């Protein structure tokens, strides 16, 4: 079986990816950037799980080459704010950061992919190569039909979310009564929900979209349990996603939680 390297951030998505690779006859080798997530890969990847900090780019590359990995796929959440923190990056990471024209998501990821492919002869695969079954479709995934006010807020939020996504700022907005309450930036979806909850007591709607011309090698929108847990705490009852362009790595787990907490999940 051919070996495929998974550069794994936080969440269920990289774990599901590893499981799907095995089903398709591939051997996953996992570079877990989140040490707390390592044990989740044991069943599918066995001993081929390595915990390496995201700041140690040179070490990651050495590990992949030592294990004869030729193809790589990115999955899971990585805090983009790391590039602003005073932490110990290795020399390879420092050189990459110094070459960035700006520190937007796409700029960072495209520089990393270019470095991996052109200077290290890896091929970076699309997330959809193995995760196509986990892309959500249009319509109600779970919950009740939206009322008129909710439909209007979703439509308004979709337009605004597409606008910020096109500027490579973020992919999620929180709205209420046709007003944008919070916009996702470098902090990510979950913290954006928390910010909105600190401003509005209840009733906000979460809208999540893909970028125009979304690069399927990274940052494909994902809805996971952490998102719904933060919505519950913020007394939010509706999340709308862009159908055909959003992952849900644990659909039954998500549906069960949503039903229990009266949260509607809808694709548009």
Rounded average pLDDT over 129-144: 96
At 117, the pLDDT band (50, 70, 90 cuts) reads very high
Residue 42 near residue 49 (C-beta atoms within 8 A): yes
Sheet holding 238-241, edge to edge: 139-142, 264-267, 238-241, 205-208, 172-176, 179-183
Mean pLDDT, rounded, for 93-117: 91
Q: What is the mean pLDDT of residues 139-152?
A: 97
CA dihedral 31, 37, 38, 43 (to 10 degrees): -110
Domains belonging to the chain, first-starting first, are: 3-131 (3.40.50.20), 135-267 (3.40.140.80)
Average pLDDT score over the chain: 94
What token pair was written down for 109?
């990821």
Average pLDDT rounded to a whole number, residues 251-257: 96
Instruction: Quote the pLDDT of residue 213.
Output: 87
Residue 170 has pLDDT above 70, yes or no: yes
Share of the chain above pLDDT 90, in %: 86
Residue 24's φ and ψ, nearest 5 degrees, are -95, 15
pLDDT the model gives residue 79: 78
Answer whether 31's CB lies under 8 Å from 50's CB: yes
Average pLDDT in the 97-109 region? 88
pLDDT of 1: 58
pLDDT of 83 reads 65
Q: Taking residues 34-49, what's their average pLDDT? A: 92
């Amino acid at each position: 079986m051919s070996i495929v390297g998974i550069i794994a951030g936080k969440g269920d998505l990289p774990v599901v990816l590893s499981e799907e690779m095995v089903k398709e006859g591939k051997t996953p080798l996992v570079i877990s950037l989140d040490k707390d997530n390592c044990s989740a890969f044991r069943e599918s990847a066995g001993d081929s799980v390595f915990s390496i900090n995201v700041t140690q780019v040179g070490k990651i590359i050495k590990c992949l080459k030592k294990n004869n990995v030729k193809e790589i796929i990115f999955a899971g959440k990585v805090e983009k704010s790391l590039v602003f923190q005073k932490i110990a990056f290795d020399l390879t990471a420092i050189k990459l950061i110094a070459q960035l024209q700006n520190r937007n998501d796409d700029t960072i990821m495209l520089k990393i992919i270019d470095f991996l492919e052109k200077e290290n002869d890896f091929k970076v695969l699309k997330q959809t190569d193995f995760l196509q079954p986990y892309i959500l479709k249009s319509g109600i995934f779970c919950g009740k039909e939206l009322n008129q006010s909710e439909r209007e807020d979703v439509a308004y939020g979709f337009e605004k979310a597409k606008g910020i996504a096109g500027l490579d700022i973020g992919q999620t907005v929180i709205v209420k009564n046709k007003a944008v309450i919070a916009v996702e930036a470098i902090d990510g979806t979950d913290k954006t929900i928390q910010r909105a909850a600190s401003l509005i007591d209840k009733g906000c709607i979460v809208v999540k979209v893909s970028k125009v011309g979304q690069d399927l090698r990274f940052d494909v929108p994902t809805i996971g349990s952490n998102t719904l847990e933060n919505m519950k705490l913020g007394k939010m009852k509706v999340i709308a996603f862009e159908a055909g362009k959003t992952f849900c790595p644990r659909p039954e787990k998500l549906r069960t939680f949503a039903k229990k907490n009266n949260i509607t999940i809808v694709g548009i």
